[in-house]
Structure 1
Amino acid sequence: MTYRALDTRYDAMKYRRSGRSGLKLPAISLGLWQNFGGSRDYPSAFEILSTAFDHGITHFDLANNYGPPPGAAEELFGDVMARDFRPYRDELIISSKAGYGMWPGPYGEFGSRKNLLASADQSLKRLGLDYVDIFYSHRYDPNTPLEETMGALAHLQRQGKALYVGVSNYPREATREAHRILAAMGVTLTIHQPSYSILNRWIEEDGTIDACGELGVGVIPYSPLAQGVLSGKYSKGKDGASRAGRAGSTVGTRWLAPKVLAAVDALAKVAKARKQTMSQLALAWVLRRSEITSALIGVRTIEQLKDCLGALDNLEFTDKELKAIDAATGDARLDSHPPLSLPD
C-alpha cells in the first residue's frame, strides 16, 4: 500500500526560524541516533517516521555513525525515502553530520577536509539523496585549523551537497570563530546542535546560547530529556534504573545518581501542577528560550512520540515555575562542556 501523508499534517505543528536564516524547522524534530540501527525493522521504523511527518515533524536528523552499526540509521532512512517518502522530498529537512569515529585509521573522524568530504559523499550514498538540507561538523576538533573544517563545509554547500551548514558540540569561542570564518567565505553558519536540558545547561554556563542569539545562529538541542532520565522512567520505585545499568545501555551512571533521581522526583511535582507529563515539561522548558529553533527528540515508540508532541500545548512558564525547576535541580545538574566522544 502506497503511503500518503495526512492532509492535516501542518495544522498543529509550530515552526520556528533558524536564527536569522530563511530556514524554518518544526518546534520538535526527530533524531535517529539510537533507535534506528540495524535491529530496527522497516515496518516499525516507518510507523514512527510516518506518524512524525503526519504530525508536522518535517525534520529528521542523522549522522554518518548513527546505528549501530555505524551507517545503519542512514541506510534505513534511505530505504524509507526510496519506498515511501520520495514524493515528499521537498517538504523534508534531512540532516547529517561527520566528526565522530566512522572508519579505521587517521581519516575516519574529527574535522579534516578529508574526513568531512568523504563522509558527506558516503552519507548521501546511504541516504540515496543528491543533497542533505543541513550538514554539520559533529564536534569541535582542537587539532585541525577551523579554517580547514569550515572550508570543507563551505565546499559542500557550494557543490550543492548541503543547502545549509552547522556545527554540533562546539563551545562558545569556537562557535564565534566558525561563524566568522564562514562569513568571510560568504557562507552562513545556520545552526548549532548542542546538548541541553534542565539537567545539562552548559550552553547557558559558557554563553554559547547567548552567542548564537547574538550571531543569528539557530539552536537545536539534542538530549532534551537527558537520555530519558527526564521522562521519569528511571525514577525511584520503577525498574528503569536497573535496566539502565545493564550492559549496552546508553544511559551513563552519572545520570542515575541518587541526587539526580531525587531532582527528577521533585520536577514531577511541577509537571503535575502544569498538567504535563515529565517529558512534556522537559521539552517545554528547552523551547522556552527564543534562541531555540527546535528540540531534537529520540523515541522508540509511537506512544513516546505522541507524548512529546503534547509539549506544544503549553510552552509558557511563570517565574514561580521556573524558580521551582531551578530549586528542584540544584546541585543535581550535570553541566558539561562538549565532549570529544559521544555523550553518555
Structure 2
Amino acid sequence: MTDTSLPLRKLGHSNLKISALGLGCWQFSKGKGLVGGFWPEMKQEDIDAIVKLSLEGGINWFDTAEAYGKGESETALAEALNNLEVEEEKALIATKWWPLLRGAGSITITIDKRIKALQGKTIDLYQIHQPFSFSGVKAEMDAMNELLENNKIKNVGVSNFNEAKMREADQVLKSAGYSLASNQVKYSLLDRRIETNGVLDAAKELGITIIAYSPLEQGILSGKFHKNPEMIKNISGPRKYSNLFKKSGLEKTRPLIDLLEKFAEKHGVSQTQIALNWLIHFHGDTVVAIPGASKLHHAQENIGTLQFSLSKEDMDEIDLVSRAVSKF
C-alpha cells in the first residue's frame, strides 16, 4: 500500500525508518476530553480514508497521544489500521504519556492501557508529552528504560523539552545502552525559537530527530486567511484568539505569505506544501513534521509535499523573509 519509492530517514539513532512527514492524529480524538474537544468529532470512515490516503502517498508513521480524547485518538487510529488490514511495519505508531499531576511511576503503571487503546499494536515511539510532572527527567527515563527492557515499547522520545532536559534524557538513556530518539516541539516558518534556544543545535549534535508540530501555524501559512480574513470568524476553538489571526498579525506575516505564494506558482504546488517542504529539508534530515488532516484534501496536501524539492536558493530566500516575521 505504501509508496516505498520515497526516501525514508532514520529516527534518531534507532533502527526505524520514517517518512519526512508523519500524520498528526490529534484531530482523531472524537471530540472527547478537554484536549480532544479542540476538534469536532470525526466519523471513523473519514478517519479510515485519511489514513489510507496517507499510507498510499508514502507516509508511514502516525503520531497520537493518551491526552488526545483520553485514548480515543489511539483507538481510532488502531481501528483504521485494522479496517485497512495494514501490516504493522508499514504503519509505525508514536504515542505519548501525559505527565501533568503524575509521577514517573505512572509511566509503567499505565502502559498496558496505552497498548489496549492501540488494540495491541506496537508502540514504536513512546514520548513524554511535556516536561511538567511530579518527577524529574531521570526518574522518567528510568521508567522508559524499564519499558524498553520489557519490550513494551521500541524507542523513547520527549516533547516540549528544553535543551538541558533533552540532554539529560539522552544521557540517562545512554547509561542503560539506549538513546533518545526524538524531541517533539513547536516549529514552523513563523516560530523558529528552537534555532536560538539550543534545542536544534543539541539535536544535531546528539543525532536526535526533531518532530515539528503546528508546522502550518493552524493554517496561517496556507495564506487563506490573508486572502479572506472573514474566514477567521468561522474558526472554532481557541486558535482564533492567537495574535496571528489578528489584523496586525496578518499584516506582519504577509511578506512571507506572498513569497510562499510566489514559490507555489513556480513549482505548481500549494503554499502549505512550500512551507512544509522548507521545514523538512532546510536542516537536512534532522527535522520531520506532523501536519494533521481532518479532511481528505488535507491528506492530499501532505503527501504532495513529499513529491518535490526546493532548491537551496529557494530555501535561503524563504529563510531570509521568515526571519523578519517569525518568533526567535
> Is this a same-fold pair by TM over 0.5?
yes
After superposition, the C-alpha distances for 1:28-55 in whole angstroms (9 at most, x for unaligned) are 1111012442421111110111111122
Q: 1:90 to 1:270 in 2, by over 3 A?
A: closer
Q: 1:252 to 1:323 in 2, by over 3 A?
A: farther
Task: Please show how residues 294-333 of structure 1 align to structure 2 within 5 Å.
Answer: 294-319=288-313, 321-333=314-326
Counterpart residue number, 1:253: 242
TM-score where L is the length of structure 2:
0.87
Determine if the alignment matches structure 1 residue 285 to structure 2 residue 278. yes
Indicate which of 121, 129, 135 corresponds to 2:120: 129
- The letter for the 2-side match of 1:265 is I
After superposition, the C-alpha distances for 1:116-170 in whole angstroms (9 at most, x for unaligned) are 2234322211111153111001112376321101111111111111111111111
Q: 1:149 to 1:242 in 2, by over 3 A?
A: same
Matched residues, number: 314
Determine if the alignment matches structure 1 residue 157 to structure 2 residue 158. no
Q: 1:318 to 1:293 in 2, by over 3 A?
A: closer
Greater shift in the superposed pair: 326-335 or 144-153: 326-335
- The letter for the 2-side match of 1:190 is A
Residues in 2 aligned to 1:330 and 1:216: alpha-carbon distance in whole angstroms: 25
Residues in 1 aligned to 2:116 and 2:154: alpha-carbon distance in whole angstroms: 17
Residues in 2 aligned to 1:113 and 1:169: alpha-carbon distance in whole angstroms: 17
Preserved contact between residue 99 and residue 128 of structure 2 (Cα < 8 Å): no
After superposition, the C-alpha distances for 1:159-216 in whole angstroms (9 at most, x for unaligned) are 1111111111111121111111110122221122111111111111112112111111
Counterpart residue number, 2:78: 78
Preserved contact between residue 28 and residue 77 of structure 2 (Cα < 8 Å): no
Preserved contact between residue 30 and residue 298 of structure 1 (Cα < 8 Å): yes
* SS at structure 1 position matched to 2:274: helix
- The letter for the 2-side match of 1:88 is E
Task: Please show how residues 209-248 of structure 1 align to structure 2 within 5 Å.
Answer: 209-244=200-235, 246=236, 248=237
The answer to which structure has the higher helix fraction is: 2
- The letter for the 2-side match of 1:65 is A
* SS at structure 2 position matched to 1:239: helix
Preserved contact between residue 9 and residue 285 of structure 2 (Cα < 8 Å): no
Indicate which of 255, 262, 274 corresponds to 1:269: 262
TM-score where L is the length of structure 1:
0.83
Counterpart residue number, 2:46: 44
- The letter for the 2-side match of 1:234 is F
Preserved contact between residue 124 and residue 131 of structure 1 (Cα < 8 Å): yes
Which runs of 5 or more structure 2 residues have no equivalent in the other structure? 32-40
Preserved contact between residue 235 and residue 241 of structure 1 (Cα < 8 Å): no
Counterpart residue number, 1:3: none
Counterpart residue number, 1:28: 21
Counterpart residue number, 1:334: 327
